[in-house]
Each structure stands twice: as structure tokens, then as C-alpha cells.
Amino acid sequence: MLPWLSHLLLPTETPDVTQSLVTIMLAIGLGVFIGRLKLGKVSLGVAAVMFVGLLLGHYGYRIQIDILDFIRNLGLILFVYGIGIQVGPSFFSSFRKEGLRFNALAVGTVLLGGLVTYLLFATTGMRIENLVGVMSGAVTNTPGLGAAKSTLEEIQRQFPDKAFADPAIAYAITYPLGVLGIIITIIISKLWLRVSPAEEMRKYRLEQTNHNLPLVHKKCRVTDTRYFAKTIQEAVTQSGHDDLMITRLKHSGSSAVSSPALDTRLRENDVLMVVGYEHDVDDFIAKVGRVSTDLFIESEHDIQYKNIFVTNPGARRKKLGELDIYNKYDVKVTRLFRAGREMLARPSLELFYGDRLRVVGTKEAIEEVEKVIGNSEKQLLEPDFLSLFGGLLLGIILGSIPIMIPSLPVPIKLGFAAGPLIVALFVSRYGGIGVIHSYINNGANYFMKDLGICLFFAAVGVHAGAHFYENFIAYNGWLMMVYGMCITFIPLIIMVLIGTLLMKLNFLQLAGLMSGTYTDPAALAFSTSYLDSDIPVQSYATVYPLVTIVRIFVAQLLILMLAG
């Protein structure tokens, strides 16, 4: 091999910057490749990066310590910020539904895992930093590991005479069992409870209220004499469904279609296009007349519809009622799409950057509205680094605020895991803070999350792998696996019993809760495939943010109270 090439690719105990970067790229590249390989329906995914890093570290590859710290912390920040932006809207809205019950069950399970960890510490004599690593791996929680390592470094700086074990070693030992433990629990629970995914899906749909269902549009012919000469506002109010919207109107005997005002009066045999939740729409049509088969009302000749993105600074943070689009431009906004959610356009809705509006009107009027709203798809595709790094900066500042708690050796901090996550959740929920907005297109957000977790796993894996075998022997790795199984299975089994016997949860939702409580995307992917349903994804997103924050605090508190 050429000398310069061997210098780059072969392991060394004293790497320079280039060799450190090569080690990181090797760990990520090989890890992503191995992570795509499947054993049945299960694959390691990006977690394989950590195991490749362990292997590289074991065989002598190293990363400069300053580069390692930077890569590890940057990766964690990018990962948790991307998660917060992705699940923020659904996280907050879930508390108006079953989110309180779900999060109570999930947080209780997390605290039970912390209690099992404490009991193991009290009865086994194993050091708490190793047990926190065992716990983080057993519940596949990367931010908890990051918080534990940051806390140990803070204690080390204030008490330089103390020596601590690296929790990443125990994390790596127990992580595979954590992934498999959740999957095994889902399989056994399904068999034990004799679950039929099709029947669970049917029950789930019956349990949902109208506002969980997508919006629909249907045609209605006005035939009930009680509604003749009524204004549209009066007809909607009289029907008892104020959330409905009439987007198009065609008078009987005419082919002209208009977007009617609320004071437009109805005539006999008028045809209406009604938008709303299906139950409301069906009930309105039954009261006003009957379903129409008229095709002229769907014509795009007079009235068209178009999706317009909110990109103009003048439209951001404005309410639809403030823009007064209908009265100014004779265009009706019927729906708003945000973060995968579809909402009926109400005057009180505040517009966020990146929102997509469904508007109905003439071609010329829609073009005028575009000038007000923006609709620059090119702008949305371009990364807004001012917004992104402004949000990350706020997250780092929040995570660095020391919180003094009596009797603890050092102040507790949210850290690089919880700080950016909390900021991202609130930015996503409220649309932004000043120049910081919540919109990141899906492709960019997935890239940011995956890049972040790959950088973190590569740094953690290579560092832990340096003395992995010696530590496995020294700390009795097989015993760590046994302890990890206790932390994995005991809380999970109790969670299943409470969720099914006491809370009567739908099993499809419970599977997502198990995956979300253990912050395990691999188990989530398995459950959606195994149960042939996307319902687990919704409950996963409902509990993931709060569970992540609680796991971070549990890991930190165990270290602060019991280390040294």
C-alpha cells in the first residue's frame, strides 16, 4: 500500500485531523451499509454506526479528543432539534385528546425503569455510571446517554481527582438487547392477547371523533323549502354545523360557478360544494337537500383551486381574518396544511412560514392572492441557515442554564440533549421566535436528524471501542446484559398489563407507545410492518418528546445523586 494511503487508512493511537475525519467517515459509511441489511423484518438502521465504531476503536482507530467531543455534541444537537421540529405540532395537539393518558403511562414506565436501575445499584454494587449506561442502552435512549456523559464531564471538571467509567461501553453492550426486547414484547403481547390487527383498526376508527378524520368535500342540491332565500351563513348556523364551509355555488339552470359570500341567498335547486368533516357534511346535506351529481360545479372554467405556500414575510404570523382575503380578492381559503395536518381554514388561524393554503376563486384573483401570500417554492427549498442556527443557538443557551438543587454536587442542566429539543418543540408549536421559524422541508429535516445521530454514534462508538474488550471482561459484560434485560422487560411488561387491563388501550396504539417510551425507531418500524398499520406512528410521536426529556433528567439525577 502507498505510504500516504496507509497513513490515512490504517489505525493509529495519535491521529491527526485528516486521520480523525477518515475514521469518522469509515464508521458512518460502513455502519449505514450494515444497518440496511435485514434479518427478517428487523435491521439495525443507523445504530449500526455505533457498533462499527466500536469495532474500529477496538482495532486501534482513534479520533482526536477535541474533534471527538465536537462531533459528538454537534451530532446530538442536530438530532434532537430535528426531532422537536418534526413532532412539535402533534405533540401539543395530542394533549387535547388521549395524549395525557398516553404520556402518563409512558412517563410512569420511564420512572419505573429509573427505579429498577436504582435498585440494581443498591443491591449489586455496580457503579452508577455503568448502570446508567446499561439503562440507556436497555431503553435505546441516545439523548440520555449524552446527558449522562455531559454530567460526568461537569463533575470531573469540578472534582478532577475523581475517576469515572465510560457509560458508553455499557450502553453498547445492552443496546441490541434493548431493541430486541421491545420487539419480543410486542410479538408475545400480540399472541398472548390474541390481537387481530384488522379488528383493532376497526375499533380504532370507531373510537375517533370527527376532528380526527380528514376533511372531505361533497356536492349538495338545495331542495328543502326551509332553506330557500336563506343566506349561506343562516343555512350553516341553522343546520348546527358552524365549522362547515361552502366553497362553490351554482344556481339551477346556469353553468356559471361562483365562490359565494356568507350573505349570498340560496335558491331552489342550487348546487353547493360543502367542505368539512364527513359527519358534519353528511348531516348538513341531509337537512338542506340531497347529494348532487352535478358536474358543472367541478368545472375549472370559472372557479379554480390552488395550493399556495406562505412565504411572504407580510403574511407570516397574521391571522386569516386579518388578511381578509375574500373581501379583498374574492378568493376563499378552504383548508390549511401544516406539518402533515389538515385543518379547516378559520379566521382565527395564524399563518406560519411554510403553511400550505387551499384557495378557491378565479384564476386572476388567485394570482393576486399569490402576491400577498408568497408561494415561492424555491424559497422553501433553500435552507434558511439564519433560522436553523438561531434555533440551535437558543437550544444551547437553554441547555447551559445551571439549575441549583440542594444536596447535589453540581448544578443540573438541560444539556445539549434537552435544551435544543425543548426550543424546537416550542418553535414548531408557535411557528417561530423572531427570525427563527419552524419550517424545514421534510428532506432537509430527515437529513439533519440522520446526520446528527450518525455523527454521535460514530464518536461514541470509536471512543468506547478503544478498550471495549478489556472493559467487557473487567466489568463483567454478561452481567450487564442480565441487568439490562431487567430494565428492559420489567417496565415493559407492567406497561402492557396497565395499558390493556386497566386503560383498555387499542393494541395498535400500545405498540407505538412501547416503541416511543423506549425511543426506538427500529421497534416502531417493526411494529408498523408486523401489525400492517401506521397507527403506532401517531402514539409514538405523542410520547417521544416528553419521554426523551424525562429520560434525560432521570439519567442526570442518577449520576448526580449516586456517582462518587
Confidence at residue 436, expressed as pLDDT on a 0 to 100 scale? 81
What pLDDT, on the 0 to 100 scale, is given for residue 211? 44
If one counts every other C-beta atom within 10 angstroms of the C-beta of residue 226, the result is 10
Give the 3-state secondary structure of 508-562: HHHHHHHHHHCCCHHHHHHHHHHCCCCHHHHHHHHHHHHHHHHHHHHHHHHHHHH
**Which pairing describes strands 332-338 and 289-291: parallel, antiparallel, or unpaired?**
unpaired
The one-digit pLDDT tens for each residue of the chain (564 residues) are: 677 788 788 888 888 888 889 999 999 999 889 888 877 666 667 778 878 888 898 888 888 888 888 998 898 888 878 878 877 766 676 666 677 889 899 999 999 999 999 999 999 888 888 899 999 988 878 778 877 887 888 787 777 777 777 888 888 788 777 877 888 888 888 888 887 777 877 777 766 544 456 678 899 999 998 889 889 888 888 888 777 888 888 888 787 888 888 888 999 899 999 988 888 898 999 999 999 888 888 776 767 788 888 888 878 778 887 887 777 777 888 888 876 677 777 777 888 888 888 888 888 888 888 888 888 877 777 777 888 889 999 999 988 888 776 766 667 777 777 788 888 888 887 777 777 877 787 778 888 888 888 898 888 788 877 777 777 777 678 888 899 999 999 999 999 999 988 988 888 888 889 988 987 766 776 777 677 776 787 787 778 778 888 888 898 888 888 875
pLDDT of residue 210: 42
344 forms beta bridges with: 335
Residues 517 and 109 sit within 8 Å (Cβ to Cβ): yes
pLDDT value at position 1?
62
Structure-block grid coordinates of residue 280: 358534519
Q: So what's the pLDDT on residue 207?
A: 66
Q: Are 25 and 53 in contact (CB under 8 A)?
A: no
Residues β-bridged to residue 272: 220, 249
* CA-based nearest residue to 167, from 72, 101, 239: 72
Predicted confidence at residue 25, as pLDDT, reads 92
> Domains plus CATH for the chain?
3-204+385-562 (no CATH), 211-378 (3.30.70.1450)
Q: What's the pLDDT score for residue 407?
A: 63
Q: What is the maximum alpha-carbon separation in the chain?
A: 93
Specify the pLDDT at position 564.
Answer: 59
**Measured distance CA(127)–CA(281) in Å, rounded:** 62
Instruction: Please tell me the predicted confidence (pLDDT) of residue 431.
Output: 76
Predicted pLDDT at 290:
92
CB 466 within 8 A of CB 83: no
